[in-house]
Amino acid sequence: VNVLKHTLADNWSQVRMAGSVLCRKFLLQQQQQHSLMEEEDTSSYWPILLPRMCLNRFYLAQGVKLYSLDTWKMVFNIHESGLQKVAQYAGAICRYYMKMCDADNHVVREAACQAVAELANKLGNHPQHSTALSPYVSMLLQALIMCFHDESWPVRDEACLACGTFCLAYPVESKPELPTLMERWKEHLTDQIWSVREDAAIALS
């Protein structure tokens, strides 16, 4: 598990891909041994593996992204079992995402913004799991606000959309950050990149 912790988050795509292959083999082996969903057996590694598995589904390298998506389907083939697991370990996932929003690699920061937006979209609109994310909304928004000034325009672009998604899914929890968000969105209406301007307008609307 310690090897997977590092390889699944490596900046080198080939290493991350190798880690993804190892992660799939490890989890499918656990599944074959009928212990995948037994919490006393798996609680030690889910907080480590799950955040990295989630984020890698948005990684820019297509090989890593597609392989991670397929792994997710293989491991969580029971309806909504993946979403239940995300809600259960929301704290570990949110803390990892916040850390990755400030990663050295702009590709990782972009993926983190997309992954954060997915949390708001999938958990925030779910009748049973929406409360799992509520305690972390403010911290996630602060991490996204930091990305508004990123030197990489795709990161700024994804941060705009992610914040808008959060404000819709969690209007009460997002309210303290709304004045700052309004300023940032308005600033990005004059960004030199047209897609950033477009997504800032979408977020404002």
Which tens digit of pLDDT belongs to each residue from 120-164? Answer: 999 998 989 999 999 999 999 999 999 999 999 999 999 999 999
- What is the average pLDDT value for the chain, to the nearest integer? 91
Residue type, 88: Q
Q: How far apart are CA 15 and CA 1, in angstroms?
A: 15
Residue type, 162: A
Number of other CB atoms surrounding residue 177 within 10 Å: 20
Q: Is the model's pLDDT at 40 over the cut of 80?
A: no
177 versus 39: the higher-pLDDT residue is 177
Nearest in space to 153 (alpha carbons), one of 122, 186, 117, 113? 113
Nearest in space to 29 (alpha carbons), one of 96, 76, 72, 75? 75
Work out the pLDDT band at 79, boundaries 50, 70, 90: low
Work out the pLDDT band at 33, boundaries 50, 70, 90: confident
Number of other CB atoms surrounding residue 69 within 10 Å: 13
Q: What is the pTM of this model?
A: 0.91
Rg (CA), the chain: 17
Structural element, H or E, at residue 162: helix 153-169
Q: What share of the chain is helix, strand, coil (3-state, %, to 5)?
A: 75, 0, 25
- Asked if residue 142 lies in contact with residue 99, where contact means CB atoms within 8 angstroms, the answer is no
Token pair in block for residue 137: 């909304």
